[in-house]
Amino acid sequence: MVTSRQHRLNAQRFINGSKGQGREKFTRYKELFSNRRLCFKRIFVPLINSRFFKAKEVYKKGGIMIYWKEVINFAKNGNPTPDKRVEKTEIAWLKMLSPEAFRITRKKGTERSFTGELCKVYEPGEYACICCDTKLFDSSVKYDSGTGWPSFSQPIQENAIKYELDSTLGMTRVEVMCNTCDAHLGHVFKYGPKPSGLRYCINSVSLKYIDNDKKN
């Protein structure tokens, strides 16, 4: 037969044990939360800030930061004047470019997603037009959009890109071209990362990667 005193002792042991387990769980959760917060502060915050401020430097280099309203304005009312113009005959472009590059840049074609050589290139450098070598994008604003094409959030300078409304495929999009030679690059969309909120979806074959380390 269990006495009332034994009941009280058992109840006290249970309470003490629960308190001990509770303290142990609380300590583990506190350490886990602290480690995650420390990890976020030490790794993710510097990474985010680094990419953000690199992007700001690119924008400073090119002048005005371009947002969707500027894209639409250029497409509807005229593009900024390029630093220079390069014009060739179709035969000259055909001789100069590979068949695939000619099809995409001069005939407004599209390469299959996830097949481009530059999709997975994220090393520091710059991206120039395959047709005329005009610099178009900087690697600091390149990101993986998951679409299968190289994606950038901003051109290297405001007048590097030409914009035109594109009504093919039963929808209205904004086509982007090299403002120097009119090479078709791809399209720009308003669903991209901050601060610009843009996604320049570019055919890999339209670009030429310039490794800054090798260049120096």
Q: What is the pLDDT of residue 39?
A: 46
Find, among 157, 107, 136, the residue nearest to 202 by Cα: 136
Q: What is the pLDDT of residue 212?
A: 78
Give yes or no for a contact between 126 and 210, defined as CB atoms under 8 angstroms apart.
yes
Spans in the chain with pLDDT lower than 50: 18-19, 39-62
Residue in this structure with the two tokens 């602290």, named with its chain if needed: 34
Q: What is the pLDDT of residue 48?
A: 42
Q: What is the pLDDT of residue 182?
A: 98
CA-to-CA separations, 172 to 163, 164, 165, in angstroms, rounded: 13, 10, 7
Give yes or no for a contact between 161 and 64, defined as CB atoms under 8 angstroms apart.
no
- Euclidean distance between CA atoms 183 and 203, whole angstroms: 11
Q: What is the pLDDT of residue 153?
A: 97
Which sequence positions are flagged as catalytic?
A: 201
pTM here? 0.71
Maximum Cα–Cα distance across the chain: 106
